[in-house]
Amino acid sequence: MLSITPRAPYDFSQVYRHLALQEHECLFSCENGAIYRAIRTSAGITPFSVSWENNALAIAPLGAAIGEAAKVELCRFVARWLNTEHRLDDFYAFAKNNDLLAPLVARYHGLPVLGLPNLFEAFSWAIIGQQINLTFAHKVKRQFVEAFGDVHAQNGRAFYVFPTPEQIVHLSIDELKTVQLSKQKAMYLLNVAEFLLETKDDLFALSFDELLHRFLGIKGIGSWTANYVLMKSFHFPQSYPHLDVGLHNAIKALRGMPRKPSADEALALGESFGEWKAYATFYLWRSLADI
C-alpha cells in the first residue's frame, strides 16, 4: 500500500464525486468509494486502486507486485492526476472576493483541478472533443482506446490503457477514421504523436510561453487545445481556454445572461480571475453538472 498526503485543503469526496460524474469514461471507474485505473510503468501495465484512508490517498497496486521504480512512477502519476500539489489555499483567498467564484469555491471546497498526466492522452482528448458534444466525444475516445490501446484483465475487471504515440504514429488516416474520427482530427492526432516522439527536450521543464508557442506550431492545435493541455497536464494556473463553449455556458447560467458571452467577453472576464484563470475555469466547468 502506497500513500500520498495531499496539500490542504483537500476533500477526497469532492474528487470522487467529480470523477464519478464521468459516466462514459473508459480509462477509470468509481466503485464503493474507490477509483480503479491502470497505467503504463516500467513494470508494464500496472492496475491499481485509489481510496481515502487515514487522511491520505491510499494507492494499492493490484495483481503482481511491482518494484520500487514502478512505485515511484505510480505515485507520481496519481499526484499529478488527482493534483495533490495544488494551490487551493491561495486560490480561495483570491476567490472569496470575486462575486462569480465565491459561491463556487464554497460549494466545491477541497476540489483540486484534476489533471491529465499523460500528455498524449490530454492532446488526444482535446482534439477528439473539438466541436462535438461530449457524449459523442466519449464514444469516439472509447473506440479509439479499444482499437489502438491496451486492455488488461485483473480481478475480473477490464482495465483500458490509452495508446502511446508509438502505437498511433504509423496508422493511416483510414485506420483512424474507423473509430469515427474525422479526416482532419486523424491528421491532428498523427501530428501530435509525431511532435511528442520527435521532442527531445523535457517539456515539463519549459515555461508556459515557450510551451504555448511550441504547441500552436502543431497543425490542429489552436488556442483552446493548447490552453486545455497546459491546464490539465502542466497545471499552469494562468492557462485559460477562453474559447470553450462549456465555460461560456457556465458564465451565462451563473450571470443569468440571455445569451452566451462572446469570445472577447470571456477573455475580458478572464482578467477578473487574476493569476487563477485555470482554477476559475475548472470550478466553472464543475458547476455545469449542477445547473
Catalytic residue status for 244: yes
Closest approach, Cβ 142 to DNA, in A, equals 12
DSSP one-letter code for 154? E
> Interior CA angle at 10 toward 160 and 2, to 5°?
50
Strand partners, 113: none
Number of H helices, E strands in the chain: 14, 7
Nearer to DNA, 131 or 155 (CB): 131
Which among 67-75, 158-166, 215-223, 272-280 is the span making contact with DNA, rule CB under 7 A?
Answer: 215-223
Q: Which amino acid is at 23?
A: E
Sort residue 220 into left (φ over 0), alpha (ψ -120 to 50) or beta. left
User: SS3 for 51?
Assistant: strand
The values of phi and psi at residue 150, to 5°, are: -130, 155
Kindly state the helix (H) or strand (E) to which residue 283 belongs, with its residue range. Answer: helix 277-288
Grid cell, residue 8, equals: 490542504
Residue 238: closest CA among 283, 286, 284, 274: 274
Q: Which residue lies nearer to DNA by CB, 50 or 113?
A: 113
| Per CB under 7 A, 152 contacts DNA | no
In Å, how far are 50, 222, 238, 249, 279 from 18, measured between CA atoms?
A: 14, 27, 22, 19, 15
CB neighbours of residue 1 within 10 Å? 8
Using CB under 7 A, which of the segments 10-18, 100-108, 124-132, 197-205 binds DNA? 124-132
| Residue 183 or 255 with smaller CB distance to DNA | 183
121 binds DNA (CB under 7 A): no
Residue (156 or 256) nearer to DNA, CB: 256
285 contacts DNA (rule: CB under 7 A): yes
Q: How many CB atoms lie within 10 A of CB 216?
A: 13
Q: Which stretch binds DNA (CB under 7 A): 50-58, 95-103, 145-153, 217-225?
A: 217-225
Please state the closest distance from residue 107 (CB atom) to DNA, in A: 17
- Does 154 bind DNA (CB under 7 A)? Our answer is no
Q: Is 263 in the site for DNA (CB under 7 A)?
A: no
Q: Which of 69, 72, 93, 134 binds DNA (CB under 7 A)?
A: 134
Cis peptide bond upstream of 237, omega within 30: no
Phi, psi of 218 (to 5 degrees): -85, 125
Residue 174 vs 202, nearer CB to DNA = 174
* Total interface residues for DNA by CB under 7 A: 37
- Per CB under 7 A, 247 contacts DNA: yes
Q: Does 139 bind DNA (CB under 7 A)?
A: yes
Q: How far is the CB of 71 from DNA (least distance, A)?
A: 30
Of residues 173-192, which lie at the interface with DNA (CB under 7 A)?
Answer: 177, 180-186
Q: Which of 150, 244, 264, 290 is catalytic?
A: 244
The smaller minimum CB distance to DNA, of residues 63 and 246, is found at 246
Residue from 51, 98, 130, 154 in contact with DNA (CB under 7 A): 130
Q: Take residue 107 and report the three cell numbers written for it.
A: 460549494
Which residues contact DNA (rule: CB under 7 A)? 126, 129-137, 139, 177, 180-186, 218-226, 243-247, 249, 260, 281, 285
Q: Which residues are known to be catalytic?
A: 244
